Structure 1
Amino acid sequence: MSDEPLIEDEDAEVLEARLDQGGVRLDKALADIFPTLSRARLQTLLAEGVVTRDGEPVSSGSAKAQPGLYAVALPPVVSATPLPEAIPLTVLFEDADLIVVDKPAGMAAHPAPGSETGTLVNALLAHCGDSLSGIGGVARPGIVHRLDKDTSGVMVAAKSDRAHAGLSALFATHDIERTYLALTRGAPSPVKGRIETLLGRSSSDRKKMAVLRSGGRNAITDYVVQQVYGMPAKAGAAPLAARVACTLHTGRTHQIRVHLASKGAPILGDPVYGSGSPAAPVRAAIAAAGLTRQALHAAVLGFVHPVTGEPLRFETAPPADMQALEKGLAEL
């Protein structure tokens, strides 16, 4: 067996050390021979498959260590400062103080674990250059609000610090017009109403938000069922799907997705809050449309320009995947 580890990433920094005695947990043994790496960091590296013994991958930190030559391939360090990327943007409005874009689904608003590049911030840095507001911090220049990565629609970003401060104040006082279009499994009842709850982290899954009985933050969504699809023959039964317009009065994380799910009408394609499976015809329509994300689009954004005082309002149609899905639902 060769002493050369089988490392595929040519840009990785490779640490090597020989373990003469085994018997203890592997993560502990590795922490002893690689003192610059913590056991927690080593456990992550093991899970990522970048640790080898005598050229063979090892992955279980709880397994008993065996003597041999161990190698750890450390991934390249990612810059904490986002870099400009020449990503095409659909610009709806731009002046010296702000820019309004129609964000595509699949683009994160700013760099975060798992989305370090290809974000709106990367695109804006290339498009706006040095004119992007720095109040949002190094990782989030210009960002005053965000859409989920897989939610499409209208977003505004600040190019000047005075616009950033003014937009932030408008969002803080909810003096912003924001309407979203959602395609849902079933339909919320009644056909028009207000959902007002407390929203916070789920006690069972900290990655999810949930409606809470106490704690959390107040969240208000007005909704209107604009169209229903697949009306059942049985009187009083719910439709198979619907198009719902939601107006935000607060801007909590995943607010619309959680609120519609709490009404028994989760957004179609939502991998987190879409509990339960849609009816077979709806599943077929989703597949035919090629929808691979939650069917949610930020259709309207209106506000008073924080510098000029000009009323601004922008409206965009849902992208092709949602339009194709709605066409398929209309044929149910």
Structure 2
Amino acid sequence: MSPAAASTETPEARIDASGVRLDKALADAFPALSRARLQALLAEGAVRRDGVVVTDGSAKARPGLYAVTLPPVAPAAPRPQAIPLTVLFEDADLIVIDKPAGMAAHPAPGTPDGTLVNALLAHCGAGLSGIGGVARPGIVHRLDKDTSGVMVAAKSDRAHAGLSALFSSHDIERTYIALTRGAPSPATDRIQTRIGRSTGDRKKMAVLKAGGREAITDYVVQAAFGQPARVGGPPLAARVACTLHTGRTHQIRVHLSSRGAPILGDATYGSGSPSLPVRAAIAQAGLTRQALHAAVLGFVHPVTGESLRFETAPPADMLALEALLREL
């Protein structure tokens, strides 16, 4: 039996009263669990009455024997994992890596390990900066789990503070390569909007008319692929270089989608379907994520004052897709 399985608990309590909201009745029956925690457990299907799952905390309680399955307690701190890293630069204060797609920056619900933090803890040991907190030591910025490319992490507290200041003032060179459905128009432009949580889906970000935070992206269409479906229409796909002047969550994905050119493979913001030839190219290339790569990261070393700039090519899935798109 694994440690995780061994630590799972299923406390039980009998509820005789009826007519009271279920979440309130459960909170009274299980005083060690908050009402909010019980509501989350209900939504996860972790509560049973007489062996049958119940999920609606707002429903009236019914008499019966209730059991609550509590998941294993997550470790207080991430554990080191010997995960290979592509190191572009490293000194006593910081480390620059080329993050692969599929690796989350730090542990989070649904991604307890296998993250960059786990790899850095094994690689850097006790030298990793702790300013970022127990769950995110050394992390000063992040890439989405399925976005590949250049990232920097702090190994010392002074580097962490200095890098955080650079990112806060946007004094960082950051250019991404995206493969898009169609192409944004005009071919070169600045997108300047406000980005915040979508009012229709709180799990997504969106361009907002009011609220949110300012978001600025410069883009250049570097190549267009495939003949337009109609005269004067957009190409079937494009390679777009995006330079960030702010660092909002999902900024490039949201901005390109707002221009009618969502990133290929983006299940969250890729509204609409690519043309049949582009879909075939995606399948043949084996792309299973958004075609977005953080290609360039440049900054002044916060401790030595040295100007540093790193550039990496997109990984194999994006290179294969681009090669296929060029044949359209």
TM above 0.5, yes or no, is: yes
Which residue is equivalent to 2:284?
A: 288
- Within 5 Å, give how 1:40-189 maps onto structure 2: 40-62=36-58, 65-189=61-185
Structure 1 residues 137 and 203, CA, compared in 2 at 3 Å: closer, same or farther?
same
Structure 1 residues 233 and 112, CA, compared in 2 at 3 Å: closer, same or farther?
closer
5+ residue gaps, structure 1, are 1-7
Structure 1 residues 190 and 36, CA, compared in 2 at 3 Å: closer, same or farther?
same
Could you give the per-residue CA deviations for residues 268-300 of structure 1, whole angstroms, max 9, x where no partner exists?
111221111111221222222222221100011
Cα drift, residue 9 of structure 1 = 4.6
- Bigger Cα displacement from structure 2, 260-269 vs 69-78: 69-78
Aligned residue among 202, 205, 208 for 2:204? 208
Q: Alpha carbon RMSD of aligned pairs, Å?
A: 2.1
The one-letter amino acid of 2:66's match is Y
Cα drift, residue 49 of structure 1 = 2.8
SS for the counterpart of 1:49 is coil
Question: Is 1:226 equivalent to 2:217 in the alignment?
Answer: no
SS for the counterpart of 1:303 is strand
Aligned residue among 290, 304, 309 for 1:313? 309
Aligned counterparts of 2:158 and 2:15: Cα–Cα separation in 1 = 59
Could you give the per-residue CA deviations for residues 49-92 of structure 1, whole angstroms, max 9, x where no partner exists?
33333444444445554444332221111123222222111111
Aligned counterparts of 1:96 and 1:39: Cα–Cα separation in 2 = 47
Aligned counterparts of 1:26 and 1:54: Cα–Cα separation in 2 = 14
- Bigger Cα displacement from structure 2, 121-130 vs 225-234: 225-234
Could you give the per-residue CA deviations for residues 17-51 of structure 1, whole angstroms, max 9, x where no partner exists?
23345565543443332232234322322332333
SS for the counterpart of 1:74 is coil
Aligned counterparts of 1:23 and 1:152: Cα–Cα separation in 2 = 53
Aligned counterparts of 1:77 and 1:90: Cα–Cα separation in 2 = 32
Alignment size in residue pairs: 325
Which residue is equivalent to 1:266?
A: 262
Could you give the per-residue CA deviations for residues 118-172 of structure 1, whole angstroms, max 9, x where no partner exists?
2211111111011111122222211111111111100000111121122122222
Aligned counterparts of 1:325 and 1:248: Cα–Cα separation in 2 = 24
- Bigger Cα displacement from structure 2, 52-61 vs 265-274: 52-61
SS for the counterpart of 1:214 is coil
SS for the counterpart of 1:18 is strand
Aligned counterparts of 2:306 and 2:103: Cα–Cα separation in 1 = 29
Aligned counterparts of 2:218 and 2:248: Cα–Cα separation in 1 = 14
SS for the counterpart of 1:198 is strand
5+ residue gaps, structure 2, are none
Aligned counterparts of 1:24 and 1:229: Cα–Cα separation in 2 = 62
The one-letter amino acid of 1:229's match is F
Cα drift, residue 233 of structure 1 = 6.3
Q: TM-score, normalised by structure 2?
A: 0.91
- Bigger Cα displacement from structure 2, 127-136 vs 13-22: 13-22
- Within 5 Å, give how 1:13-32 maps onto structure 2: 13-20=9-16, 22=18, 24-32=20-28
Structure 1 residues 242 and 75, CA, compared in 2 at 3 Å: closer, same or farther?
same
Aligned counterparts of 1:180 and 1:76: Cα–Cα separation in 2 = 39
Aligned counterparts of 1:106 and 1:287: Cα–Cα separation in 2 = 18
- Bigger Cα displacement from structure 2, 183-192 vs 20-29: 20-29
Q: Are the counterparts in 1 of residues 198 and 206 from structure 2 also a CA contact under 8 Å? A: yes
SS for the counterpart of 1:13 is coil
Which residue is equivalent to 1:3?
A: none
Aligned counterparts of 2:232 and 2:9: Cα–Cα separation in 1 = 64
Q: TM-score, normalised by structure 1?
A: 0.90
The one-letter amino acid of 2:267's match is P
